[in-house]
Structure 1
Amino acid sequence: MFEFSFVCDAFDGWFARKFNQVSTFGAVLDTVTDRISIACLLVVLSQVYRPGLVFLSLLALDIASHWLQMYITFLFGKASHKDVNDSTNWLFKAYYGNMMFMGYYCVACEVNVLWN
């Protein structure tokens, strides 16, 4: 089920950009739904693998890091957290600027979570 959610999220973003249906509300909603699905997965993993403190720590890190990213995005008046044209961080530019690079790491992360 988690894999289905991941694939739907990828297509949702692609269709939104293709048909110019991108909005601030959509960006926030996408991030919130992503955090909810990751939270559910990490809570389940924390119950399956004891002690679950590692998974709950990852949950806190995931929520805090994405909240800060979205907050900074809107603080600087950007339309999307993926707008890194003026960023000096080479990793952000590589990740958000090259869809193959981003796709590989997204899929690799999901596979790693599911297989471990």
Structure 2
Amino acid sequence: MSNSGSPTSGLRAKVQWLSDNGSIFAAYRTLEIAAALNLEPCFTPVESPDSNGMAEAFVKTFKRDYVGVNPIPDASTALQRIDQWMEDYNSDHPHSRLGYRSPREYIATPTSRVSGLTRATPPGQLPV
């Protein structure tokens, strides 16, 4: 499958895009654009402000720590940098709720509690 010339050329896996259930996010045109950008729309549960808060916190952090401090002359440049920024966010960026570890460091840690959070059991495994 070739996407040459597409801003998402070279992307292998879809990126999950978490949003609330607002009509703009579920609108047909929005979902069409998400598909063109290789995004998989995922919606927070109805009447679940905690889930929406997590999505909003991610957007705030991403804008502050990546978008706001990097020159982005055009959309193509932004799309090229997102993979690198996401890799850094998941592998190197410290998260206060994870004991100032990256998500990958947190998952690799044998302890099950950090700052009052309980790590979820990976799919297909029973909790110990």
What TM-score do you get using the length of structure 1 for normalisation? 0.36
What TM-score do you get using the length of structure 2 for normalisation? 0.33
Which protein shows a greater Rg? Answer: 2
Structure holding more helix per residue? 1
Structure holding more strand per residue? 2
